[in-house]
Structure 1
Amino acid sequence: MNTADTIYRLVESYQYEKEIKKSIFLAYAIPVASEEQAQEWLQKISVPEATHNCWAYRIGQNYRSDDDGEPSGTAGRPILQVIEKQNFDQLLILVIRWFGGIKLGAGGLIRAYSGTAAECLRQAPRIEYIPQKTASILCSFSDYELLKARMAEYDAQIINEAFGAEVEMKITVPEDAYIALYERVLDITRGQAVIVEC
């Protein structure tokens, strides 16, 4: 995938249903933050009485798919390709099929699973996904106000502050702005602040 491409995440879970030659295909698109969470969702929403529960997920560099009894490569992999093609991350898609009595053939299955998954994602509410880093900044009281004022320049958010002998700010910052922020913190504090990734 081109690094210039925008990556998306779901705002919330979404479902889409389609009938293809008397078979019902029901797609669920669910935001997930870990492989464990993806497996928990699969346990929760799979329908054992359905003919097939085919799925795929992508979480960063981790991805898996399952054809659940459909011919190899006709369900799980096409669903995963939809996730990749539409540039989604941290996403699970489950497509449940109730067989309607008419065989679709390999090409028909690929089109049915990928088409149902793709339409589900097209309709689902999405936001741009910007990978974040969390860091802790330890600084003196004399540098605190100036540092705090500079956070917005790097789209950094202060998520916690603790005041003791020094000030500790816990922040989140877009990954691509982290190095510039790190250097700015050291510059402002003349190398006195400590900034550590959490």
Structure 2
Amino acid sequence: MASLQHSPRSVPLPSTIARPVEHELVVKKSRFLTLLHPVESVAEAESVIARTRKEHWDARHHCTALVVGTHADQQRSSDDGEPSGTAGIPMLEVLRHRHVTDLVAVVTRYFGGVLLGAGGLVRAYSNAVSETLDLAPVLRREVMVEVTVEVPHAEAGRIGNTLHEWCQTHGAVLEGADYAAAARFRLLVPPGRLVELDADLASASSGTISPALGDSRVVDVPA
């Protein structure tokens, strides 16, 4: 059983996005069509890139940047024919600066006939990704502890309501309940709230109910 003690607060995990988002930016007649797509692996990101290339087969460039992994440890980018360093890396820098992971950015460019220069390209590709991220529904990621609370059926309604209210005010999640010989409530609780949960359950049950702790896992939470 896990301990009710918790370690000091660590560096926050990178966030991710809830769903694909598209956005168009026009700079001096060039169209920059940006797709941000959540992914779980580099292979899935490459599949998204391939689909985008097929959809926009007539575009001149499909520049990409991807960040994958709980701690954003896998990162790749491509200029796809633009001058070196003017597209993929600036796109990747936006993703790094915004502290996001498990997503791929594809910026498809339809050339408008006006040269933008290296500086103009860097700004255009950076702004394309940044503006699209502004439109994306962000999911914050937190490490939470799986907790089960076993309750006699006679107390299930009252304790269930107590847990529901407790989760709403303590950043926890009440995942559900199972009913067999006793009622078992399943929660996800921030590590820093475990001691408080134990104390509040003891108070609500005159010391007869205590939480059983399981594994820690990364949970997506709407920002």
Alignment correspondent of 1:156: 172
Greater shift, 74-83 or 51-60, is seen at 51-60
Q: Tell me which amino acid in the other structure corresponds to 1:131.
A: E
* 1:119 Cα deviation from its structure 2 partner: 2.4
Identity %: 26
CA contact (8 A) 1:134 1:170 kept: no
Matched, 1:29 2:29: no
Alignment correspondent of 1:58: 67
Alignment correspondent of 2:122: 110
Alignment correspondent of 1:38: 45
Q: 1:67 to 1:164 in 2, by over 3 A?
A: same
CA contact (8 A) 1:25 1:97 kept: yes
Alignment correspondent of 1:131: 142
TM-score, normalisation: structure 2: 0.66
* 1:114 Cα deviation from its structure 2 partner: 0.7
* 1:110 Cα deviation from its structure 2 partner: 1.0
SS class of match (1:129): strand
Q: Deviations over 1:50-93 (max 9, x none)?
A: 21111223344233322223233221111122223344444332
Distance in 2 separating the partners of 1:183 and 1:89: 31
Alignment correspondent of 2:213: 195
Matched, 1:68 2:80: yes
* 1:155 Cα deviation from its structure 2 partner: 2.5
Q: 1:196 to 1:24 in 2, by over 3 A?
A: same
Superposed counterparts of 1:137-152, under 5 Å: 137-141=148-152, 145-146=158-159, 149-150=162-163, 151-152=166-167
Within the candidate set 187, 191, 194, 1:178 is matched to 191
Distance in 1 separating the partners of 2:160 and 2:101: 32
Which runs of no fewer than 5 residues in structure 1 stay unpaired?
A: none
Distance in 1 separating the partners of 2:100 and 2:175: 26
CA contact (8 A) 2:17 2:138 kept: yes
SS class of match (2:85): coil
Distance in 2 separating the partners of 1:33 and 1:185: 37
